[in-house]
Amino acid sequence: MYNEKTLTNIMSPEILIFILFNSILYGMFLFMLSSGLTLIFGMMGVLNFAHASFFMLGAYIAYQINLVTNFWIALLLAPIVVALIGGLTEKFALRKIHKFGHVAELIFTFGLFYIIEEVVQMIWGRVPVPYEIPEALNFSLIEISGMSYPAYSMFRLFLSVAIFLSLYQILAKTKTGLIIKASLTHPNMVSALGHNVPKIFSYVFGFGCGLAGLAGVLAGNVIGTEPSMALLLGPIVFVVIVVGGLGSLKGALYASLLIGFFQTTAIFLEFSINDFVEFLGYEVDVESTINEFTNITISQLAPIVPYLLLIVVLVSKPRGLFGGRDV
């Protein structure tokens, strides 16, 4: 039955602040996860289906390093290891397939996704591993409207913002960024200037995978490090880069924050079609054959909100919010 407190609660300052803050935290996590794929597609034109697998690798490798050292060393080394794996994958496999077009690349990375998943299961098993938040950051840092936020969440937010600012500065303002972008659009000219284009692509692909690995290091101890994490988060990565615009770094940022806001808000909306009908002053027929459908609340639909947004954006702006590459 309709509860008048539903809308009142959602409009309270405490809940609004909670939604806004958690939207930013979740949105910046999505950006950190998708930034590497945005970079790879923007610079190389490769849509890496296995990107989420490198995210998973980062979490597992960090867990393994953390067993013998500590979180901070894992934070430093795990992304480097993942970047090396990604770079070697591009050099010895993907580079040979690149000339056959995007379909061949997509099929290759699709197969790579399942290979990495099976290898992870063979090494670490099929159950979650106890990868935990470091004790040094496992405390409440700030309190807003009676709700506390751990230091680790603030640390992840800080790194996400730093990644965006650093990437944008390097790619848009430096000679290195210009060379990397020109390698995709004018490879022959870049080669004539003495730059090794294939090596640049290996570095870019490895760096993009390393960013995914970094996201895994920072998120694995929050969402749980298990073999299914790549499959669960893989689709949302593609939603982010498509909604923002394929290859657009700014688009990925805005799309991540937009998805974070809509999905976080939806979780708090315990409101169904039946509630809306009652709100308008009409009586609901509980015996109706469609009652089970009309009684579904918006909060129950929260998991599919990003995909609904994807459909809306593709119908209205097929090239995404920002229209394409800006990196």
**Token pair of 220 as six digits:** 């694995």
| Separation between Cα atoms, residue 6 and residue 125, nearest integer Å | 44
pLDDT of residue 19: 84
Most confident segment among 84-93, 136-145, 186-195: 84-93
Q: How far is CA 51 from the centre of its chain?
A: 10
**Token pair of 227 as six digits:** 């073999």
Mark 141-165 as b/e (b = at least 16 C-beta within 10 Å). eeeeeeeebbbbbebbbebbeebbe
108 pLDDT band (50/70/90 cuts)?
Answer: very high
Q: What is the pLDDT of residues 223-259, one digit of tens each?
A: 999 999 999 999 999 999 999 998 888 999 999 999 9
Mean pLDDT estimate for the chain: 87
User: How far is it between the farthest Cα atoms of the chain?
Assistant: 76
Judge whether residue 324 has pLDDT over 70. no
| 93 DSSP assignment | I
Count of alpha carbons within 13 angstroms of residue 6, beta-carbon side: 19
Query: Which residue did the predictor score with more confidence, 60 or 167?
Result: 60
Classified as helix, coil or strand, 225 is strand
Q: What is the pLDDT of residues 310-322, one digit of tens each?
A: 999 999 998 888 8
**Token pair of 134 as six digits:** 């470091």
pLDDT of residue 78: 97
pLDDT of residue 11: 61
**If you search the block for the tokens 């579904």, which residue do you land on?**
296
pLDDT of residue 325: 63
227 burial (CB, 10 Å; 0-12 / 13-18 / 19+) is buried
